[in-house]
Amino acid sequence: MRLTSTVRQKILNQNEGFTKRTSYDARNSSEDRIYTISGGVLHIRAVGKTSWADSRYDNEWIASDEETHSFLYAHQWEMNLDGIE
């Protein structure tokens, strides 16, 4: 399936409430990302820390078109795609 902007929006609308959590661990840092589809957009929350004592962070934002495309491409097999072509 080609993920045009119209198809991406249909997938987002049809998968309201979908949540996916990913984790990343490296030598000096770790990060968890929580992706949630709500209101027809993809929300991203990044929670992490680095090796510095005061370097914890918790950021949230609405995904850009590029971030949305990448996320849907990677996780489309986990979503409800019924009737979307």
Phi, psi of 74 (to 5 degrees): -75, -30
Q: 43 — alpha (psi -120 to 50), left (phi > 0) or beta?
A: beta
Q: Determine the pLDDT at residue 52.
A: 78
Q: Determine the pLDDT at residue 85.
A: 77
As a whole number, mean pLDDT of residues 24-29 equals 91
Q: Is residue 16 a contact partner of residue 42, using CB atoms and an 8 Å limit?
A: no
Q: Determine the pLDDT at residue 36.
A: 98
Amino acid at 74: A
Which pLDDT band holds residue 1 (cuts at 50, 70, 90)? confident
Q: What domains lie within the chain, and their CATH numbers?
A: 16-78 (3.10.450)
| Residues 31-76 pLDDT 10s | 999 999 999 999 999 999 988 777 899 999 999 999 999 999 999 9
